[in-house]
Structure 1
Amino acid sequence: MLNVLIVGGGPIDLAQLKSEMASKPELIIAADRGGSYLWEIGAFPHVLLGDFDSLSKTVLSEMKAANVGIQVFSPKKDFTDLELALDLAIKRGVDSIRILGGLGNRLDHTLGNIGLLLRPLALGIETHLLDEYHDIVLIKDAIKLKRKPGWAVSLIPLSQKVTGITTTGLLYPLTQAELYLHSARGIHNELTGESAYIKVDEGILIVVCFREKY
């Protein structure tokens, strides 16, 4: 399996980045400032791409010296650096993608990055958008969640309607239920055991696992 870690330019907890690196992803792609985060922990990506408007010359020079694959794009482009990184990962024929630095205090970037997850979803590539407080994934069929102490889960429709939602292992179960974009019914649920299972028949569901106590 080809597992990919994408390191974006949004806020990143370096301890979490070290943890992700410890899992030894087969492909590491840094988008612009994401290269700086890796450099701070003494690591290098396989590919560094972007317009480099937020990457220091020192870091860029060290990346080149380490024979990192560099892809330079014009600042005047129709795609964000994270989108370019995601496209590259998809073209490599990956099996799973984990993205750090795609959430933060820019709501427009956060919403846009959640939308980007539709692209790998259409190809059957499970893709997680992460920070130290959230683990976000889109599903159109099913997913198994593992319990993490202190974490909860919300189910939010991305399409106008998601039908045939059935869950097991959640405190508030759903059986062939429907969730609507204009309703907050799926907000906040909890795992009752070590794992939970969520299945949908039609539509796209945002599964948001989140840490309840920061």
Structure 2
Amino acid sequence: MSDFNTKYEAVIIADGLFPQSESVLELIRDAGVVVCCDGATRKALANGFTPDYIVGDLDSLEEKFKVQFADRLYRFPEQDTNDLTKAVRFTRSKGIKNLLIVGATGLREDHTLGNISLLAQYAELFDSVEMVSDYGTFIAINQTIELQSFPGQQVSIFALTPDCLISTKGLKYPVEKRSFSFWWEGTLNESLGDSFTIEVHGSGRLIIYKVTG
């Protein structure tokens, strides 16, 4: 069995839709370190979370917060990466290996799609990394994996490398050495039990989405 942890060494709070469900808020509270993308600082504070680090180009950070948190600001002015990626790289530089990301979805759809796709790159930097919202969890994989689940859990598979062949075990609609050319093709499946397996034939990058029970 290889599923990721519910205890995280660090959480990154991005400037999307801030989670409101108690289960996700509890994950944030339990995380060892809170890293905020600069634009998310106000949201984090409004929800009772004080950042240990604030990372980004700092253009979105209010002046009063620059003064209040001057001892924990980390500015990366380059424009080749977004603030979430800057925060991820900063967090990895601190030796973090087990990461939770929240606030990366919702609001602007282009930001949501971009952040979800970036998860595949982030997965190469950490032992485990999950992107969690009030509605579910995104996990990036590049090899065969068995994931914890429950009967009836809704599961979707998104292939970032459309030539990758995929097989599944433990899902209601089985997949046998099939490639997904379009994102909709692997959506709206359903777990049959306490786990399911995604088998990756060859090399590929996939995003697995599990709806919260």
TM range (shorter): 0.7 to 0.9
Instruction: For residue 150 of structure 1, report the CA deviation from its aligned partner.
Output: 7.0
- 1:198-213 map, 5 Å: 198-202=198-202, 203-210=204-211
**Cα deviation code 1:160-205 (max 9, x no counterpart):** 2222x33222112234x22222374322111112222222122111
- Matched residue, 1:143: 145
CA contact (8 A) 1:140 1:201 kept: no
Say if 1:27 and 1:188 are closer, same or farther in 2 by CA, change over 3 A.
same
One-letter code aligned to 1:135: T
Q: Which residue of 1 aligns with 2:82?
A: 80
Aligned residue among 117, 120, 138 for 2:119: 117
Q: Which residue of 2 aligns with 1:19?
A: 26
Query: Match of 1:168?
Result: 169
Contact 2:151/2:192 (<8 A) preserved: no
The SS at the match of 1:161 is coil
- The answer to whether structure 1 residue 6 and structure 2 residue 12 are counterparts is yes
**8 A contact 2:96–2:126 mirrored in 1:** no
CA apart distance, 1:28: 2.1
The aligned runs of 1:27-42 (5 Å cut-off) are 27-42=33-48
Structure 2 vs 1, CA of residues 21 and 2 (structure 1 numbering), >3 Å: closer, same or farther?
Answer: closer
Q: CA deviation at 1:2?
A: 7.0
- Answer yes or no: is 1:179 the counterpart of 2:149: no
Alignment of 1:62-81 (within 5 A): 62-64=68-70, 67=71, 69-74=72-77, 77-81=79-83
Q: Distance in 2 between matches of 1:19 and 1:112?
A: 26
Change (3 A) 1:169 1:91: same
- Give distance in 1, aligned partners of 2:185 and 2:21: 34
Cα distance in 2 between the residues matched to 1:103 and 1:18: 15
1:22-74 per-residue CA deviation (whole Å, 9 max, x = no partner) reads 3x22332110132222212332222111233433344444434xx5x211344
Q: 1:32 to 1:129 in 2, by over 3 A?
A: same
Query: In the TM superposition, what is the alpha-carbon distance from 1:131 to its structure 2 partner?
Result: 1.4
Instruction: Give the distance between the partners of 1:151 and 1:62, measured in 2 at CA.
Output: 44
Which residue of structure 2 lines up, in the alignment, with residue 194 of structure 1?
A: 194
Whether contact under 8 Å (1:4, 1:97) holds in the other structure is yes
Q: Distance in 2 between matches of 1:96 and 1:166?
A: 27
Normalised TM-score (structure 1): 0.81
User: What SS does structure 1 have at the residue aligned with 2:84?
Assistant: helix
Could you tell me how far apart the structure 2 residues matched to 1:45 and 1:146 are?
31
Shift of 1:210: 2.8
In 2, distance between residues paired with 1:42 and 1:63?
Answer: 15
